[in-house]
Chains A and B, each alone.
Chain A
């Protein structure tokens, strides 16, 4: 007799004892070489301090971490990152939700509309950054021309807030397509009779959206919030690099960008490594949240 579990998840049984290990070997090798090894290196590096000429290094335990966490520039970078990530996630999700709701109402050309909405997702981050950079370049950008003619002294190269707005726009723009897809699917999963029942119950369109549709989208929204935050935190290096390079000053230097700046530009390897270890801890925490709550979604019904 098979027990319940084996019946539900049939297992492949290999007659050969070695074959299964051979089959997972490439995957294991890749993970070892490209993740565990550099991660270990980073961890080791984060506890070393080099002299300014890079000739000697000394093992200093957690001194680099203490130094980094006490550094006002690092604390500033945390603030910048939180602001940037939240703004990017919220803008990307809000715009995508608005577009998805509008796409639901389109009667003709629905498929075309959706396809066009999805394209930006295929654009590489650096290209997206360049696109926005050019559009909003203070001297040659067509949109900055429009802004300036509206009386706004637009200058992302000198004004930190302007730089941040530009960065958030570029980062959010890229993520809108992805969010749009999920929101369209989420909206389609809301039973039509619920909306009809709410209409009969006297709720007008806006009310129906906020009291019925939006709460039922909660699982999708939560999932996207995690995904967008992770994206804004870790996948926006290319955009930051292309659009602002962390400037002006350090107003748009996110944590990831600071790792690069300190390590590869300023060559303070110990600090940079300590920062990347901190980032690694954040990623692990976010992944844990994702596995714990998102994978087993909030279900109604």
Chain B
């Protein structure tokens, strides 16, 4: 139904805070694009600029190929789900959902059928006569979703819609949002700081940091080839282990050995590997061409299906995932290995080093 194109979008707030520092994203039709990043990185600002709630300091935003910089939120034909839901407290659920349709002059009979069918999809049929304060958090969330869906807009915008729910409900709603979005085929932009939510929902993932895009791509591509140490440590839980290695004369023997595994060019400064890509090996064993890292266990976190070993290695803290139960206990000396293709290398500035470096 619509594409959303951001071209070098910037936002400087009245106080001089530069919240968004030049972001370009092209969201194809029907895709669910997730903006993820730490709190304060400018995600909400960017979303609100797409909504028309904030002015665009420079750059352009186009919806369906049409530049909307000068168009107010009323005319953009978008729907937004707010973090606090922003339900109209003095209106019943029915009227909350009908409000947008009424404002656009939809005939009464059509409003009624659309509100009722949307309510049915979201299992709100029995709640249409309630006021928002008579609903649970999860129900309010559904009403907020319903209010967006019923209008059948060009674009859905979500600003951390699940962060006020408890963990179980959040998991449920995540699945539901994804399948609804698929079925309705409405281009969506979804903002979250939760990397798990981002990974599971996104068709297209945009990792943001300090007002800039760090990486754009399919979630698993980003997971497998993080473009920077920031992305590497932000996507994935527990995050990727990053060992900063000193180069040159101050390097220890271990560091020199590790750096030997790096791609040629000698610019490598940080070695990364994911907790699940590491294995424990017996003392005697030595695999050439693979990572061999002595480590000391400092804490053990059994989660049930797996356990996490928090260790210190080469002066860094790292985490290793082992399946099932483990007999390891604090103080144990281990040797960790990972095959060369599971290693990630980053330069001094934190940029990824690759033979075929992704061109983002």
Are A199 and B72 in contact, CB atoms less than 8 angstroms apart? yes
Are A193 and B100 in contact, CB atoms less than 8 angstroms apart? no
> CB of A197 within 8 A of chain B?
yes
Tell me, rounded to whole Å, the shortest Cβ–Cβ distance linking A58 to chain B. Answer: 58
Set of chain A residues within 8 Å of B86, measured between Cβ atoms: 191, 193-194, 196-197
> CB of A200 within 8 A of chain B?
yes
Alpha-carbon separation in the docked complex, A191 to B86 (Å): 8
- A171-219, CB < 8 A from B: 191, 193-194, 196-204, 207, 211-212, 215-216, 218
Tell me, rounded to whole Å, the shortest Cβ–Cβ distance linking B77 to chain A. Answer: 9
Set of chain A residues within 8 Å of B74, measured between Cβ atoms: 199-200, 202-204
Are A202 and B103 in contact, CB atoms less than 8 angstroms apart? yes
> CB of B242 within 8 A of chain A?
no
Are A202 and B90 in contact, CB atoms less than 8 angstroms apart? no
Set of chain B residues within 8 Å of A218, measured between Cβ atoms: 90
> CB of A300 within 8 A of chain B?
yes
Alpha-carbon separation in the docked complex, A204 to B90 (Å): 19
- B64-106, CB < 8 A from A: 72-74, 76, 78-80, 82, 84, 86, 88-90, 99-100, 103-104
Alpha-carbon separation in the docked complex, A202 to B98 (Å): 11
> CB of B237 within 8 A of chain A?
no
Tell me, rounded to whole Å, the shortest Cβ–Cβ distance linking A301 to chain B. Answer: 5
Alpha-carbon separation in the docked complex, A130 to B51 (Å): 54
Set of chain B residues within 8 Å of A198, measured between Cβ atoms: 88, 99
Alpha-carbon separation in the docked complex, A198 to B100 (Å): 8
Set of chain A residues within 8 Å of B82, measured between Cβ atoms: 193, 196-197
- A96-131, CB < 8 A from B: none
Are B84 and A202 in contact, CB atoms less than 8 angstroms apart? no
Please classify how large the interface on chain A is, using the bins under 10, 10 to 19, 20 to 34, 35 or more: 20 to 34
Are B103 and A203 in contact, CB atoms less than 8 angstroms apart? yes
> CB of B182 within 8 A of chain A?
no
Alpha-carbon separation in the docked complex, A197 to B53 (Å): 10
Set of chain A residues within 8 Å of B178, measured between Cβ atoms: none
Are B104 and A200 in contact, CB atoms less than 8 angstroms apart? no
- B321-346, CB < 8 A from A: none
Set of chain A residues within 8 Å of B90, measured between Cβ atoms: 215-216, 218, 300
> CB of B147 within 8 A of chain A?
yes
Tell me, rounded to whole Å, the shortest Cβ–Cβ distance linking B55 to chain A. Answer: 14
Alpha-carbon separation in the docked complex, A211 to B147 (Å): 16
Which of B51, B80, B99, B133 contacts A211, CB < 8 Å?
B99
With A196-B86, A300-B133 given, is the CB distance from A201 to B103 under 8 Å? Answer: yes
With A300-B90, A300-B133 given, is the CB distance from A196 to B73 under 8 Å? Answer: yes
Instruction: Write the chain A residue with the least CB distance to B132.
Output: A301
Tell me, rounded to whole Å, the shortest Cβ–Cβ distance linking A262 to chain B. Answer: 47
Alpha-carbon separation in the docked complex, A193 to B147 (Å): 14
Tell me, rounded to whole Å, the shortest Cβ–Cβ distance linking B360 to chain A. Answer: 31
Alpha-carbon separation in the docked complex, A211 to B96 (Å): 11
Set of chain A residues within 8 Å of B78, measured between Cβ atoms: 200
Alpha-carbon separation in the docked complex, A300 to B78 (Å): 27
Alpha-carbon separation in the docked complex, A156 to B70 (Å): 53
With A201-B103, A202-B103 given, is the CB distance from A194 to B80 under 8 Å? Answer: no
Tell me, rounded to whole Å, the shortest Cβ–Cβ distance linking B15 to chain A. Answer: 13
Set of chain A residues within 8 Å of B131, measured between Cβ atoms: 300
Among all A-B residue pairs, the 7 with the closest Cβ atoms: A201-B100, A202-B103, A300-B89, A197-B86, A193-B86, A199-B73, A215-B90
Can you list 28 residue pairs at the A/B interface with Cβ under 8 Å?
A191-B84, A191-B86, A193-B84, A196-B53, A196-B80, A196-B82, A196-B86, A198-B99, A199-B74, A200-B51, A200-B52, A200-B53, A200-B78, A200-B80, A201-B99, A201-B100, A201-B103, A201-B147, A201-B151, A202-B100, A202-B103, A202-B104, A203-B74, A203-B99, A215-B90, A300-B133, A301-B132, A301-B133
